[in-house]
Structure 1
């Protein structure tokens, strides 16, 4: 179950990161599946473990909601981070927040420096996907578009999952 859990959650987080990068949205279905998996995994460890994770995830949701209300994060980021935290113990949840913040800091610096470092490529129909993606991101960077923070959340979740005992 442990390896399957990590594989499923990693796959879902990769989908969330990709969608956030390409469309700046995080699908509700991904978050709902993460919540379902998290509840099953934590309940398998006991209802007390599930309850503690629920409380920790709700606290994280409330804090991130306040941050989102100030325009720093998007609603998709709030729901994705909370869904990931639900599947972790409170201690692992703290590790997740820390690792996500570190990855997010690097991502933020990259997006701040990006307008000065990216070439002015125009998206070309039929061009290879990486070239089109770079061109679109360069355009977003020059216009100070939103940072796809779902990438940091996914990275934090995956790294914490891979650090779980037994993996």
Structure 2
């Protein structure tokens, strides 16, 4: 029950990370730190801390190389590496997590590419600028239209968080 509560807490943090990345294209530094702390507690509880830390370190080094080449944001790298520690260190579960990240991220990329031309045409006509964006949702929509029309970065924390939530929630029911 204790581990299930930690996993539910982690999914709440992951949902916040996805929403924050969607709205601001950043992941606050405190989020990966909190997830890392939760991951350490979960791995200590199931006696797999050493293996979990090794997998997390390998993931971080690989993602650091991707960040260094400019293909991924630093917040996404930290979030992904911290999230790996939450995932049980069994190769099938880990592979499912990574595969889901790639599939959700690829789907997100396809959606953004499909929206680029229609959004660019609307912006060229001055449509979709939300002249008086008062609510948070309107401001996020306006920023998203702007980002899509300029081929801005993808909110990859959405893919990372979505995959982690899909992986962790069924596990929380087993504990």
Same fold (TM over 0.5): yes
Match of residue 89 from structure 1: 88
TM-score normalised to structure 1 length: 0.91
Shift of 1:65: 1.0
Query: 1 CA distance for matches of 2:10 and 2:167?
Result: 11
Match among 113, 133, 141 for residue 134 of structure 1: 141
C-alpha distance after superposition, 1:109-163 (max 9, x if no partner): 1111221233431133344433332221111111111111010001011000023
Match of residue 174 from structure 2: 166
Query: 2 CA distance for matches of 1:126 and 1:146?
Result: 22
Match of residue 57 from structure 1: 56
Give the alignment's Cα RMSD to 1 decimal. Answer: 1.6
The question of whether the paired residues in 1 share the 8 Å contact of 2:8 and 2:169 is answered with: no
Larger Rg: 2
Structure with the larger RCO, 1 or 2 (CA within 8 Å, 6+ apart)? 2
Shift of 1:64: 0.9
Range that drifts further, 18-27 or 120-129 = 120-129
SS for the counterpart of 2:71 is: coil
Task: After TM superposition, list the pairs within 5 Å mapping 1:1-167 onto structure 2.
Answer: 1-46=2-47, 49-90=48-89, 91=91, 92-118=93-119, 119-120=122-123, 121-164=128-171, 166=174
Is there any run of 5+ residues in structure 1 with no aligned partner, and where? none
Summarize the Cα distance change of 1:126–1:139 in structure 2 as closer, same or farther, 3 Å threshold: closer
The question of whether the paired residues in 2 share the 8 Å contact of 1:56 and 1:93 is answered with: no
Aligned length: 165
Shift of 1:22: 1.1
Shift of 1:61: 0.7
The question of whether the paired residues in 2 share the 8 Å contact of 1:123 and 1:136 is answered with: no
TM-score normalised to structure 2 length: 0.87
Query: 1 CA distance for matches of 2:131 and 2:11?
Result: 32
Shift of 1:96: 1.4
